Amino acid sequence: MAERVLVTGGAGFIGSNVADALLARGDRVRLLDNFSTGRRENVAEFLDEVELVEGDLRDFHTVARAVRGCDAIVHLGALPSVPRSIEEPLTTNNVNITGTVNVLEAARDFGVRRIVLASSSSVYGANKELPKREDMAPRPLSPYAISKLTCERYFQVYHELYGMETVVLRYFNVFGVRQDPNSAYAAVIPKFIRAMRAGKRPTIFGDGEQSRDFTYVSNVVDANVLALAAPAGSAGEVFNTACGESFTLNELVATLNRVLGTDLAPVYDGSRLGDVKHSQADISKARGILGYEPHVSFEDGLRKTVEALP
C-alpha cells in the first residue's frame, strides 16, 4: 500500500536515490533539505513528483512541518565527512544529533509508523576485529562517528521508551550515481574517477593498504526499502548495510585503471586523522531479518558510476 514517506537529506547523493526508488514503487514522497550538501540537480528529474520542504534539521518547526502527515521517515539528513567533523565538531554535533532528536520528536508527535536512520560503519572505529558485527563494542575515532553512534542510541531509546518503530542501518562506504566529485570533502571513489579521467594520478592518504567494504548505492537503497517494510521484530535493531567483502585503496586504483582503460599509479601522502585502517561488514543479520542481499558488485558498481559521472 502506498505511503507518504519523508526523506530527510532528500536532495543528497543517497537521499535522492532513495526518493527515486520510493516514487517507483508508488509512494508519495516528501523531501526535507537545506541544500548545504544536497544538490538541486539530484532531484531535478523528479522534482514535480515530490513535495519539497526547504529548511534546516536544527529548526524544530521546519522539521515538524516536514513530518506532519507522513507515515514513515528515512532519516538521511546529516553533515557528512570525518575530516569536516574534525574541523567543525560543534556544527557536526548540532546538525547530526540535535537534528536527529528533532526528527524523532516530530515523528512521536505525529504518530509516524516507522523511521529508518542512516548510520555509519565509522562507529566501529578502532575495533580491529573483522568482519564487523552489530554486537561489537563501538570505538569511534572522530566527532562524525560519535554523532552517528549517539543518533543510534537515541533511536534505540525512543523505541524502548515510546514504542516507536525505529530501524538503524549502518552504511559502509557508499558510492555511485549522484555522488559529488567536486566537494572539498568528496568521497574517495568519485574523486579518484574525476582525477584519473583527466589523466591525473590519484592521491592516497597512507600506504593504500587500508581496506573498505565499498557498497554501490542501489544496494543501500534496497536496504532502506526493506527496512521500511520489515516485520515489527526489526524495530529497535541495528543492521550493517554493505556487501560483506573489502578492497584496499590500491585495489580500487587498479580496478579503476581497468574500468577506465588507464595506467596511472597513485601518489601517496600522509595518513589522515580519524581514518579507520580496515573495514568489512558481516551482513548476515540484515540477510536473515530484512531479507537484504547486495545485488551490485564492487566492480559493476564502479562501471555504473563511471558511466554516470559527467
Tell me, yes or no, whether 17 lies in a domain: yes
Tell me, yes or no, whether 272 lies in a domain: no
d(CA 69, CA 283): 33
Residues 6+ apart with CB under 8 A from 145: 82, 85, 120, 122, 123, 125, 138, 274
Query: CB–CB of 82/142 below 8 Å?
Result: yes
How far, in Å, are 39, 60, 309 from residue 182 at the CA level? 12, 31, 11
Tell me, yes or no, whether 84 lies in a domain: yes
Which CATH number do you get for residue 106?
Answer: 3.40.50.720
CB neighbour burial string for 52-67, b if at least 16 within 10 angstroms, e if fewer: bbebbbeebebbbebb
| Displacement of CA 28 from its chain's centroid (Å) | 22
Tell me, yes or no, whether 275 lies in a domain: no
pLDDT at 232: 84
pLDDT tens, residue by residue, 186-213: 689 999 999 999 999 999 999 999 999 9
- Give the structural domain span for 84: 4-174+217-244+281-295
Answer whether the bond into residue 140 is a cis peptide, omega within 30°. no
pLDDT at 227: 98
Q: Which residues of the chain have pLDDT under 70?
A: 184-186
Q: What does DSSP assign to residue 131?
A: S
155 phi/psi in degrees, rounded to 5: -60, -45
Strand pairing report for 267-269 and 215-216 = unpaired
Tell me, yes or no, whether 308 lies in a domain: no
Query: CB–CB of 250/101 below 8 Å?
Result: no
What are the E-state strand segments in 36-193? 51-54, 72-75, 114-120, 165-171, 174-175
Tell me, yes or no, whether 233 lies in a domain: yes
Strand pairing report for 211-212 and 247-248 = antiparallel
Helix/strand/coil for 265: coil
Quote the number of domains for the chain: 1
Tell me, yes or no, whether 271 lies in a domain: no
pTM score above 0.85: yes
DSSP codes joined into one string, 161-203: HH--EEEEEEE-SEE-TT--SSSTT--HHHHHHHHHHTTPPPE
Helix/strand/coil for 137: coil
Tell me, yes or no, whether 11 lies in a domain: yes
d(CA 153, CA 141): 17
d(CA 302, CA 310): 14
